[in-house]
Amino acid sequence: MSGLAPDSLTIQRGGGADLDEVMAVMADAFDPRFGEAWTRAQCAGILPLPGVILHVARRRGEALGFSLSRRAMDEAELLLIAVRRQASGQGIGGQLIARFVEDHRAAGAHHLHLEVRDGNPAVSLYTAHDFEIAGRRSRYYRGTDGELFDALTMVRMI
């Protein structure tokens, strides 16, 4: 007996074996118009690198969300975070951010950063988790129809 309620959310570290589920969440969560999602090859390429952490959120064994992040020295970057549309608004994204912070803090990070498309509703999620806007990268994301979108850089000290 784990003591967990059967429908409680678990967040565990993952790896290459979770890539099919991660890509399914990615395809479901990201709107292809904005060009923010990564390809499978990009994900597979970064996973084995030092300091990279994949967190997978599951309920009843089903992958509902994930985050991908990496640390170098005392800096950690949140590279991707996604939650299936049917499960959004339930706090899973917030729990993934909390684990990102917790695990990289434990590994020695003091400075967190991320990039997000200007206008992505995730900006308010990051702000709620104490990230502040630090800069703007003009025309950083290229959407499927060639439209370009600015990126905001956000930071948080821990």
Ligand X SMILES: CC(C)(COP(=O)(O)OP(=O)(O)OC[C@H]1O[C@@H](n2cnc3c(N)ncnc32)[C@H](O)[C@@H]1OP(=O)(O)O)[C@@H](O)C(=O)NCCC(=O)NCCS
Q: CA–CA separation, 16 vs 123, rounded Å?
A: 28
Q: How far is the CB of 1 from ligand X (least distance, A)?
A: 28
Q: How far is the CB of 31 from ligand X (least distance, A)?
A: 7
**Nearest residue (CB) to ligand X, 31 versus 108:** 31
Which residue is nearest to ligand X, using beta carbons? 93
Q: Which long-range contacts (CB under 8 A, 24 or more apart) does 135-143 make?
A: 140/115, 141/34, 141/35, 141/36, 141/117, 142/35, 143/32, 143/33, 143/34, 143/35
Q: How far is the CB of 89 from ligand X (least distance, A)?
A: 5
Q: How far is the CB of 60 from ligand X (least distance, A)?
A: 17
Binding residues for ligand X (CB under 6 A): 29-30, 36, 80-83, 88-94, 116, 120-122, 124-125, 128
Structure tokens at 54: 């994949």
**Nearest residue (CB) to ligand X, 30 versus 44:** 30
**Nearest residue (CB) to ligand X, 3 versus 68:** 68
**Nearest residue (CB) to ligand X, 33 versus 108:** 33
In whole angstroms, how far apart are CA 133 and each of 1, 83, 86, 156?
Answer: 44, 22, 29, 9
CA angle 15/20/24 to nearest 5° reads 120
Q: CA–CA separation, 136 vs 84, rounded Å?
A: 27
